Amino acid sequence: MVTHKKRERFWFFLFVFPALISFFIVVIIPFLIGIGYSFVSWDGLSMNPVKFVGMDNYARLFTDVRFGESAQHTVIFTFLSVILINVLGLVLALLVTSRLKVTTIARTMFFMPNLIGGLILGYIWKFILSDAFKAIGTQSGLTGVFFNWLLHPTAALMALVVVITWQMAGYVMIIYITGIQSVPEEVMEAATIDGAGPWRKFFTIELPLIMPSVTICTFYSLSNCFKIYDINLSLTGGGPGTSTEMFAMNIFNEIFSYNNYGYGQAKAILFFLLIAVVAITQVSLTKRREVQL
- Does the residue 279 lie in any domain? yes
Whole-number percent of the chain with pLDDT over 90: 67
Whole-number percent of the chain with pLDDT over 70: 99
Separation of alpha carbons 165 and 90, rounded Å: 12
Separation of alpha carbons 17 and 286, rounded Å: 33
Residue 43 phi, psi dihedral angles, 5° rounding: -95, 5
| C-beta of residue 193 within 8 angstroms of C-beta of residue 113 | no
Which pLDDT belongs to residue 1? Answer: 57
What is the per-residue pLDDT across 119-147, written as a single tens digit (0 to 9) for each? 999 999 999 999 999 999 999 989 888 99
- Residue 118 pLDDT level (bands cut at 50, 70, 90): confident
Separation of alpha carbons 48 and 34, rounded Å: 18
Record the pTM.
0.89
- Does the residue 210 lie in any domain? yes
Residue 78 sits in a domain whose CATH number is 1.10.3720.10
Separation of alpha carbons 16 and 235, rounded Å: 41
Strands 51-52, 40-41: pairing is: antiparallel
Which pLDDT belongs to residue 38? Answer: 94
Which pLDDT belongs to residue 292? Answer: 67
Closest alpha carbon to 273 in 38, 101, 89, 44: 38
- Residue 115 pLDDT level (bands cut at 50, 70, 90): confident
- Does the residue 76 lie in any domain? yes
- Does the residue 267 lie in any domain? yes
Q: What mean pLDDT do residues 70-99 have?
A: 93
Q: Identity (one letter) of the amino acid at 292?
A: Q
| C-beta of residue 169 within 8 angstroms of C-beta of residue 96 | no
Task: Count other Cβ atoms within 10 Å, centred on residue 165.
Answer: 22
| C-beta of residue 38 within 8 angstroms of C-beta of residue 31 | no
Separation of alpha carbons 131 and 156, rounded Å: 14
- Does the residue 222 lie in any domain? yes
Residue 41 phi, psi dihedral angles, 5° rounding: -115, 120
**Residue that wins the pLDDT comparison between 50 and 99:** 50
| C-beta of residue 177 within 8 angstroms of C-beta of residue 171 | no
Q: What is the dihedral of CA 167, 171, 176, 181, to 10 degrees?
A: 140
What is the per-residue pLDDT across 33-42, written as a single tens digit (0 to 9) for each? 999 999 999 9
Q: What range does the domain containing 91 cover?
A: 64-288
| C-beta of residue 70 within 8 angstroms of C-beta of residue 232 | no
Q: What mean pLDDT do residues 9-16 have?
A: 88
Count of structural domains within the chain: 1
Which pLDDT belongs to residue 143? Answer: 87
- Does the residue 125 lie in any domain? yes
Q: Which of 192-201, 246-255, 269-278 has the lowest mean pLDDT?
A: 192-201
Separation of alpha carbons 229 and 249, rounded Å: 6
Q: Which of 6-10, 63-67, 142-146 has the lowest mean pLDDT?
A: 6-10
- Does the residue 272 lie in any domain? yes
What is the per-residue pLDDT across 234-270, written as a single tens digit (0 to 9) for each? 999 998 999 999 999 999 999 999 999 999 999 999 9
- Does the residue 51 lie in any domain? no
Residue 65 has pLDDT above 90, yes or no: yes
Residue 211 has pLDDT above 80, yes or no: yes
| C-beta of residue 244 within 8 angstroms of C-beta of residue 72 | no
